[in-house]
Amino acid sequence: MNIDAIRNGVVIDHITAGEGLRLFTLLGLDGLDVPVALIKNAQSGKKGKKDIIKIDADIQIDLDVVGFVDPCATVNIIKDGAVAEKKKMKLPQTLKNVVRCKNPRCISTTEQELPQIFRLSDEKAKIYRCYYCDGKANV
């Protein structure tokens, strides 16, 4: 398979194999009117297999979403065909409007205008808790 290099844009690399589609969806990349490539199960020297997302446009992406889905991923900003900036991801301390509270009595569920806010409560287990009711995130 051959996916052309991009001149200006974003490459999300080293995504754990199988998580690329989830990241693609959470970032809302299907709604973009620019070339976007999702490469699944690409060969990786470090991981064996990985997913890659290439966006052929200079756009802003939500780095918290990338870090939430895969804190081991890297985001490369491409300018004039070369990597201009490389960002290593980590689990964000807070998430806003990325996941929903699964507690049906939570105020964020009943009051639609309230943002869905979660804080990282256990980094090892990757557990986020609702800001309003302390319920676990529906991940």
Q: Are 67 and 91 in contact (CB under 8 A)?
A: yes
- Residue 99 and residue 53 share a domain: no
- Residue 56 and residue 108 share a domain: no
Check which CATH number belongs to the domain holding 119 and give it: 2.30.30.20
- Residue 73 and residue 33 share a domain: yes
Tens-place pLDDT, residues 16-73: 999 999 999 999 999 999 999 999 999 988 879 999 999 999 999 999 999 999 999 9
- Residue 72 and residue 129 share a domain: no
pLDDT score at 2: 62
- Residue 68 and residue 14 share a domain: yes
- Residue 66 and residue 113 share a domain: no
Quickly state the pLDDT bin for 1 (edges 50, 70, 90). low
pLDDT score at 26: 94
With a cut of 90, say whether residue 92 has pLDDT above it: yes
pLDDT score at 129: 96
- Residue 25 and residue 83 share a domain: yes
Query: CA 139 to CA 134: how far, in whole Å?
Result: 15
Domain-embedded: residue 4: no
Buried b / exposed e over 85-107, threshold 16 CB at 10 Å, is eeeebeebeebeebbebebeebe
- Residue 129 and residue 113 share a domain: yes
Q: What is the pLDDT of the chain when averaged over all its residues? A: 92
pTM over 0.95: no
- Residue 75 and residue 23 share a domain: yes
Check which CATH number belongs to the domain holding 24 and give it: 3.30.70.140
Task: Give residue 45's domain range.
Answer: 9-88
- Residue 112 and residue 54 share a domain: no
- Residue 123 and residue 83 share a domain: no
Tens-place pLDDT, residues 98-138: 988 989 999 998 888 999 999 999 999 999 999 999 998 86
Quickly state the pLDDT bin for 5 (edges 50, 70, 90). confident
Domain-embedded: residue 82: yes
Q: Are 62 and 27 in contact (CB under 8 A)?
A: yes
- Residue 65 and residue 36 share a domain: yes
In sequence order, which ranges of 27-126 are alpha helices (DSSP H)? 63-69, 107-110
Q: How many domains does the chain have?
A: 2
